Structure 1
Amino acid sequence: MTDTELTATAPAGAPARGLRLTLAGAVPGRPGAPVLHSLDLDVAPGEILTVVGPSGCGKSTLLRTLAGLLPPLGGRLSQDGEPLTGPAADRALVFQEDALLPWRTLRGNIELPLAIGGLARAERRARAAGRLARVGLGEQAARLPHQVSGGQRQRAQLARALAGRPRAVLMDEPFGALDARTRSGMQELLVEVLRGTGATVVFVTHDVDEALFLGDRVALLGTGRTPRVVRVPRPRDRAAHADPATADLRRTALASLSS
């Protein structure tokens, strides 16, 4: 197993509308508390990059840096070659907590960012309805968040994130609180709803098997170290666990969690 180059090309056939997100000599962290040092990372347009590592290694900090919420303490952060200086509508964030507004229906939650973005009422209604149907919640549109299951709330959060047609989706352990069966279903759903969008995805997880199923590449973080970025031999293939190359990468990834 060898490291891939940090600069990669998009997966074959992916629409060229995803963002390229690049860190060059970057120092993610908060003032006085750097987490990673001299980080060079290039996330290719349209790829899914998964990120795994032990607690405290900087996974969430890296994600928030790419979102523009935490400016790097040093180095450069860019989007399509231009400086990335803050949050923007073309980068959507999805968290483990669904963050749905409890007093708004599922449809209302999805419509809200579209309304803030100035989309006409009829168009945002149509787009919300389409996204809810895509994630299997068409018949739940009028329900409040507390009236649906945790898995359905995460589906609604995914629909909300994608309703604005972002060019990058940044996901921070979005399925971490779900049971194994629901989690597996959400992974399959994510693959399905992303198909054809061309969006770039950075997906943080503590689950190695999830990382190897979803990712085109996986970034293995160790505390205080530059991540090792490795191409996944057979992404989005449930049968790949029996493949020797995948098994080798799984052992490597598991070892990174204890470093």
Structure 2
Amino acid sequence: MFRLSGLYRYPLKSGAAELLQSTQLDSLGVQGDRRWMVVDAQSGRFITQRLLGQMNQIKAHWQSPGELLLSAPGMPDLQVAVPQDSEDLRGVHIWRDSLRVPDAGDGAAQWLSQFLQRECRLVYVAPERARQIDPVYAEIGQKVAFADGFPLLLIGQSSLDDLSKRVGRDLEMLRFRPNVVVEGSEPYAEDSWKRIAIGGIEFKVAKGCSRCIMTTLDPATGERSADREPLTTLKTYRQIEGDVFFGQNLIALSSGKLDLGMPVEVLE
């Protein structure tokens, strides 16, 4: 039997993970996941660990009804309220998408700018301002917050175990920043799944997740591995037309609750 063995939320895009025992799913995936994002103060361009590895030292705790508690080494904790959605919006850019979203204010901007040593702002996205998922893979009206392209990411535990053996050392699951981890399947079995159900919630398995340099960053320190692993090994057997794939992007077809240990059923 396949079962849900890992459940994660990343309230701040490229910030540290929250390990969950249970969570609600809403229209944008795991409740509170990647609803906040750091952007360059001048250009509005999104900033991630690809540019600033120390972002993984920022712990962003999601607090109902959506507020954020920020903490980082050498910094005082900072409570950030969900900004009011008004006409005073900030234009931001994430990959090919441009949108206007509320800014969290000067206090949050100063806190992040001090820690990251770069002038930046903190922004928030609500469901009504979220981005359309690529219509090649989703229905019109299916949205994503500040995740790269899809609301949810699934990785099979056995797939990571296989990769660790190939690399020659144990790799942390958080290098790949999944939302859900499934155990009990064969390595890379998720590549062939099209629809699954967890706890009565049905998910579309949309497409494989292409991986980047972020997988080479130690999730505890933000330091880049000198041997560029695991990306180097992945390129030897998981590369298709120049892209390296590991894990599967999901779209939840309804809301509901997920709990660790729930059975995972492959429907198609």
Task: Report the TM-score, using the length of structure 2 for normalisation.
Answer: 0.25
Task: Report the TM-score, using the length of structure 1 for normalisation.
Answer: 0.26
- Larger relative contact order, structure 1 or 2 (CA cutoff 8 Å, min sep 6): 1
Q: Whose helix proportion is higher, 1 or 2?
A: 1
Q: Whose strand proportion is higher, 1 or 2?
A: 2
